[in-house]
Structure 1
Amino acid sequence: MALRVIEIVTPRSDKDEVKKSLEEHQPDAGYVFWASPLDDGESLSFRVVLDVAETANVMDELEELFAWTDKYRIVVYSAEATLPRLDKLALEEEEEEGSDSSGEDNGGQAAVSREELYADVLDTSLLSKHYVMLVLFSSLVGIIGLMRDNVAIIIGAMVLAPLLGPNVGLSLATTLGDAKLSRAALKTLAVGVLLCFALSAGVGLALGVPEMTHELSVRSMTSYSDIILAMVSGAAGIVTVTLGVPTSLVGVMVALSLLPPLIACGLFLGAGLMPEAGGAGLLFAANIICLNLAGVGTFLVQGIRPLSWYEKERAKKATLHAALVWTVLLAALIGLMFLKTH
């Protein structure tokens, strides 16, 4: 099983309170912990080793415990193994035999803590020169793959997945009601889309589309199965992210719905093929909407929510508003698809 280490640095004066809190929740979470003095002589370091699935609950308890002071620091990092083992199977057997554990059902809780997830998503949601370079490189790879009708090259562009991170960040920001992260993710996504589209349109204007390849053709139209694919792949991608898998590894699963249609739209528009450009643009828009709608829903199912009551209320309103907007946009796109086919 995946393990995490939570290190808590506190003043020595808080030793008894921290130890008592950790001991109270230890039977439910099944972790081990110990304390060590630090060199400054005024602080202690508590280290907690636990299953990754328990990290979110324990982090919430610690955040509530330390809400009244700023004289602490909590750091979470991965652990490869621990001896003696944290025997999860043994704990499950005890529960089946009637253990009177008072812990809450954790079935819907995300595998990684909210703080870990936020840190991972933030890295791919902020605009930087590295992100711009990644967008340009992946766009060039995708353009070559579509023009040459080479699936392997197109998959190479998918793996880079520059548009995935901002969309995941936008979904998480909506779920948490985090306006700052939402603005950052929208800005990064907008820059990525504009760069990719401008580069593709420029190539289409300069070179045209000498041949309507199969890979270009399939991205010039949108079907109802594409919407289902985007919803399912978006949900699967978010689940994998909450399990602690780096976003780049999920790219091949989700980028299928993002980069190639956008590149095809730019190429068609630059070459003056307006109906095909409209079809590719519709596919890209539908997949962006489905990805975000599925992302918000999956984060909620995974138990990703703010901790405080005030933040929960704010996040609830933001989630409802965003879900309404995405749903209306999806309904409008489905209406356009229906009109095009009838």
Structure 2
Amino acid sequence: MRLVQVLIPEGTRDSVLAALDEQGIDYAVFEEVGRGDFEAMVQFPVPPSGVETVLERLTAAGVRDDAYTIVLPTETVVSERLSALVERFPGLRISREELYARAQDLAPANSTFFAFLILSTIIATTGLLLDSAATIIGAMVVAPLMGPAISASVGTVLDEPKMASRGVKLQVTGLLAAIATAAIMGWLMQQTILIAPGLDIRTIPQVAERTGPNFLSLFLALGSGLAGSISIMRGSGSTLVGVAIAVALVPPAATSGLGIAFGLPGVAVAAAILVLVNLLAINLSALILFYLSGFKPLEAGTFEGVRASVFSRVVVIAVAIAVLSIVLGGVTWTTFQTQSFEQQTEAELREVFDEADVGGVELVSVGVDYEPVDILLGNEPQVDVLVGIPRDLEAPPDLAQRFDDDLTERLGRDVVVRVGFIETQVSEREDPTPPFGGQAPASGEPTSRDYARGAPT
């Protein structure tokens, strides 16, 4: 419920009160004793979804834009008349005036925005290098990216070009600042003992997660934008909702900066593409939802122009996402192909090993080294096989080639097979205490499975 207070301009008292009577609004009128421009103040309760309709009627009745209209949230209203008001104004969304005010409050001052964003990036970069998901999530609580994303869409729908422009600028410059911050931090940390020499950040799971973007990342961004928009227009905004938006933007931006710092252009470009796709998807989902919810410009007569502006922006963003989705689709397809190939190869090799019937040789493990980039570069998959062989048995000299020939025939493509051997010793018993009074093993006899030195061929 909202409590609305309106200062009635001179000469419009009767028309304003008549408009409230037409809407069935209960009100209280107070004589105005301040400036002479107003003759009274009227105060009335109304559900959030009815504020916009009532204010439109009051504007038509003579309440000008230069008058004072205050909309206050109320904690509790006790009245049997509330049910009639709720029935008259069903719905959950807030008024466009309240939406505009919320969007202004969400976009902080530039100094505050960049201070929090840089601190969030520093924490997120640390979390990436530590491979700590908890640290990364903690950094998202600090990131102030929800405000600019929402204000850009609200400014477009309400025909407030300054608000929309500032929201877009803050998002773009903020993410560029995040990438630069992570790059500088990564370079500085390489000059210290905090990072091991020769560290390959591509082997860190939290970093690798942001360097292989696919369509699932797009769903994350779309969902984040919708969640942020719903929380604002229904008056239930929470900083926790902003965490979802920040998760889609800050960690990949930090990953891109680390790619620059460590001289890995592939990491930098892949993470930057993920940032751009997520940014576009968040803005697209928020813009469409606000428009479909029926929000119109604060000034009457500009709705047609806003409709054309919203349509053109939606088309541009959708086309950009479609183009970038080619990259996402390629990554998704190649990832699926490599994972399917790895599973098939492992199953086929185990079957080949069983059919080979190599006496005394035990299959220990199978690994397939095949990445999405190998598909693009045309590199052959590499299959690593580790087998155990007794000390007194000579390693089969042609085992790798036999595996290679069989896999090539079964898979229909060339592969590279490497076989590594480890010497094994297996005792007859593991318990040194003999049963039924027997003698214990002599000193030096093996009493457990022993894996000795390896010798790849």
Q: Matches of residues 137-156 of structure 1 in structure 2 within 5 Å?
A: 137-156=119-138
Structure 1 residue aligned with 2:307, among 316, 322, 332?
Answer: 316
Structure 2 residue aligned with 1:76, among 68, 71, 86?
Answer: 71
Structure 2 residue aligned with 1:237, among 225, 228, 240?
Answer: 228
1:58 and 2:49 aligned = no
| Residue identity matched to 1:79 | T
Contact 1:176/1:311, CA 8 A, preserved across alignment: no
Cα distance change, pair 85–248 in 1 and its aligned pair in 2 (3 A)? farther
What CA distance in whole angstroms lies between the structure 2 residues aligned with 1:319 and 1:91?
33
Matched positions, count: 322
What fraction of aligned residue pairs are identical, expressed as a percent? 26
Cα distance change, pair 190–337 in 1 and its aligned pair in 2 (3 A)? closer
User: SS in structure 2 opposite 1:9?
Assistant: strand
Shift of 1:76: 0.9
Shift of 1:299: 0.3
Deviation string 1:118-145 (CA, Å, 9 cap, x unpaired) is 1111233354211121112111121122
1:163 and 2:157 aligned = no
Contact 2:46/2:85, CA 8 A, preserved across alignment: no
**Structure exhibiting the larger radius of gyration computed from Cα positions:** 2
1:98 equivalent in structure 2? none
What CA distance in whole angstroms lies between the structure 1 residues aligned with 2:80 and 2:171?
43
Deviation string 1:157-183 (CA, Å, 9 cap, x unpaired) is 212232221111111122223222122
2:169 equivalent in structure 1? 187
Contact 1:201/1:268, CA 8 A, preserved across alignment: yes
1:32 and 2:26 aligned = yes
User: SS in structure 1 opposite 2:164?
Assistant: helix
User: SS in structure 2 opposite 1:48?
Assistant: strand
User: SS in structure 2 opposite 1:13?
Assistant: coil
Contact 1:37/1:44, CA 8 A, preserved across alignment: yes
Cα distance change, pair 156–64 in 1 and its aligned pair in 2 (3 A)? farther
2:178 equivalent in structure 1? 196
| Residue identity matched to 1:18 | V
User: SS in structure 1 opposite 2:297?
Assistant: coil
Shift of 1:86: 4.7
1:16 and 2:7 aligned = no
Deviation string 1:274-312 (CA, Å, 9 cap, x unpaired) is 212222111111111111110111101222122555310
Contact 2:213/2:270, CA 8 A, preserved across alignment: yes
What CA distance in whole angstroms lies between the structure 1 residues aligned with 2:85 and 2:105?
36
User: SS in structure 2 opposite 1:324?
Assistant: helix
What CA distance in whole angstroms lies between the structure 2 residues aligned with 1:201 and 1:66?
57
What CA distance in whole angstroms lies between the structure 2 residues aligned with 1:241 and 1:262?
25
TM-score, normalized by length of structure 1? 0.86
Contact 1:172/1:299, CA 8 A, preserved across alignment: yes
Aligned structure 1 segments of 4 or more residues deviating by more than 6 angstroms: none
Deviation string 1:292-334 (CA, Å, 9 cap, x unpaired) is 1101111012221225553101111110110011011001101
User: SS in structure 2 opposite 1:281?
Assistant: helix
What CA distance in whole angstroms lies between the structure 1 residues aligned with 2:11 and 2:307?
38
What CA distance in whole angstroms lies between the structure 2 residues aligned with 1:198 and 1:33?
56
What CA distance in whole angstroms lies between the structure 2 residues aligned with 1:116 and 1:124?
12
1:224 and 2:220 aligned = no
Deviation string 1:2-43 (CA, Å, 9 cap, x unpaired) is x111110123532211111111112xxxx4321112333853
| Residue identity matched to 1:280 | A
Q: Matches of residues 274-313 of structure 1 in structure 2 within 5 Å?
A: 274-313=265-304
What CA distance in whole angstroms lies between the structure 2 residues aligned with 1:280 and 1:65?
55
Q: Matches of residues 318-333 of structure 1 in structure 2 within 5 Å?
A: 318-333=309-324
Contact 1:160/1:248, CA 8 A, preserved across alignment: no
Shift of 1:224: 0.8
User: SS in structure 2 opposite 1:10?
Assistant: strand
Question: Structure 1 regions of 5+ residues with no counterpart?
Answer: 96-100
Contact 2:97/2:298, CA 8 A, preserved across alignment: no
2:82 equivalent in structure 1? 87
Structure with bigger strand share is: 2
| Residue identity matched to 2:166 | A
| Residue identity matched to 1:165 | G
What CA distance in whole angstroms lies between the structure 1 residues aligned with 2:127 and 2:54?
47
Contact 1:268/1:274, CA 8 A, preserved across alignment: yes
Question: Structure 2 regions of 5+ residues with no counterpart?
Answer: 335-457
What CA distance in whole angstroms lies between the structure 2 residues aligned with 1:59 and 1:253?
34
What CA distance in whole angstroms lies between the structure 2 residues aligned with 1:126 and 1:134?
10
Is the deviation greater in 10-19 or in 139-148?
Answer: 10-19
Shift of 1:248: 2.6
Contact 1:241/1:250, CA 8 A, preserved across alignment: no
Cα distance change, pair 173–81 in 1 and its aligned pair in 2 (3 A)? same
